[in-house]
Structure 1
Amino acid sequence: MTPPPDFSLPTPSPSDQDKSWALIAYLRSLSSSATLSFADYMQAVLYHPQWGYYGSGQVQFGAGGDFVTAPERSPLFTAGLVFEWQQAQAAGLGGDVLELGAGSGQLALDFLQASHQRGCIPNRYCILEISPALRRRQQERLRAALPDALFARLIWVDSIEALRLNAQTDQPCFSGGLLIANEVLDAMPVTRFRWRPGQVSSAEEQRVSCDGARFTWVSAPPSVELVQALADFADKWPKDTLAEAPVAAEINTALPAWLAELQQVLSQATGTTWLYFFDYGGASAEVYRPDRTDGTLRCHYRHLAHDDPFVYPGLQDITTWVDFERTARLAAAAGFFVDGERSQAAWLLGTDVPEQFTRLMQAAPDRAASARIAQGFKELVMPTEMGERFRVLRLRVEPA
């Protein structure tokens, strides 16, 4: 668990170290007779309910945690979503909101408060949260921050399948409307591999082995799922991006099945649903550029970023860039209508957020408040901040 000498990461507390060692022992038991796929390793270190980074609630959001998401940077991010919600209601969509992975609960809090102020409160605000610990944190925070009438509109589920029926009411949990997925795709487990970009026959899977007290990469023949995933877009590869030497990369081989399940459930809703996926990433040729010799995998621990997923298992975040081109293609194959993809800045500036920003600045009580509002807006839209690095993919599902 100890990082190599060139790392400058803070030392975890004794209790956190104990937790990480328990997870390491669990992973060793899984790999005692064979190697682990990196997707299985990532699933365990992020989502194990007792020791995983998200599953156990180890993650800390905001300035004092490991990273800051858009809703924590400025309420103007959620204001853009409330604008989209108003457009959805005007278009006659379903009356519910569904958030995948609500994190700290900040987005849900801002959305319910802002929609209340604008007179467009959703019938239900459903949160799909697979982490029991995060569900408890979200419930405690939102119960304390919201009036009873608004809190009563919240529903929590732990799986896509659970959206079909609310056990308490015998009614579907989600009847259509707006689905929000902020930084969800980047945290889904991925398969790690090496290849010459665009050449499926050159691919080798990178699996995980436990070498004494440390995990290491081990090369293996590619799985059937990996070959199929790479073949899905290899023929679309720009010829000028082919590389002579193999490079490391990552791909979500489970994404087609996940999208298919989501579409199947949403299509059974009584109303149309607009889906918004926010994340960092780009087109296939950008994500798999040959000069990205070590892929896009990044780890975050107390606001420090590095690229070793085997440091502090269960105590750090692990993410990869999202291939939005592939995601849109797979979504279309699963039955979604693809309405387009653009930068976060272009999306926000196309809503009423600029007008709301102006009103907030005019109403700011002092220069310090004005500076905070301006800084938050800048972080959301500036190219050097989140404006261009983050993309927005909009999908649509019509009732079956």
Structure 2
Amino acid sequence: MSLVIDVHALQTIPPSLINRDDTGAPKSAIFGGVPRQRVSSQSWKRAIRRYFNESGAADSIGDRSTRLPEKIAKAVHERAGWDDATSIARVEELFKAAGIKTAVVKPKKSDEGEPVETSPYPRTGYLLFLSPHQIEKAVNLLMEADGEKIDKKAAKEALNGDNSVDVAMFGRMVADDAAFNVDAAVQVAHALGIHASSPEFDYFTAVDDLAAEGQETGAGMIGTVQMMSSTLYRYASVNVDGLEANIGSAEAAREAAVSFIDAFAKALPTGKVNTFANQTLPELVYVAVRDTRPVSLVNAFEEPVETSSAVGRRLAGAQSLAREEKQIEQTYGFVPRAAFVAALGELGNPFEGIAQKANLMELLDLTRDALVAAQGE
């Protein structure tokens, strides 16, 4: 079986709108027959990628955009000195040789019927994920070709291989050619409330600061915004062997996996964060290094967590999580090679006997050591 890392977290979010649906309501789901708050995996994965970028790993983080032909064209324009039209034409030739379709957005008309100026740069028909190394190879290939026809194989090689960490983790799908596809080495579950909850409405008003000068009264603006509060169960699984295959190095895969755990704990989606300032961190992070298969502990919360004055919801959630892990180990024999827990206060106590207590930095170092031992066997 593959070497995998299961990452579990409990994180309490105060009233906020961290992730909303197309109607502006907080995302939700039915689990265990009751409504729960939900934060999509896509939302948290983007937050993790942003965290990587902001924490100094920009050179190992790719871009996911339809505008990558524009980025390459501007780079060759700057470095080769070609005019815009030449740069654009040669980038179009590169993508055509690679078998990836591009097109310039057609001009639109304004309400008055006048044409609206649009970008002359071509775009891909879908979000394309390229690493900094792949973009650099594409620029170098265009400059070396200097207007000569680009070989199909060379074009494909320029836009493939040398995957960035986020491409290696979250994968890539290219509709035009499956050869560009990268199987994701990281699975991220939708975060789910451990108890029943439903949205609430915040009725707000904004005051016009200068209204008094005009002897006006009342609000300058009135509106409502939905919000929700929950203790969330978060889960992700890292396929270390798959990560190594995508990156090409056991050591790089190990460091990427440890960096992912760090980002998983610290990254936060920014939906309406200026409105609600919901800047929390997980109260508990439990990491299990396994050589069996990934195991989610979400069913610990199939029955919504109820609390009393003696036991808060966070402690009750930690107890349920540890109990689920113990029962799985006893029933299936899926005992992790190593397990660690970082938790606030007494929240780590329920994991006594199944996980080593540590702070987050120690947990990262211990996980790295466990991977070194496992990869060395």
TM-score (norm 2): 0.30
Bigger Rg, structure 1 or 2: 2
TM-score (norm 1): 0.29
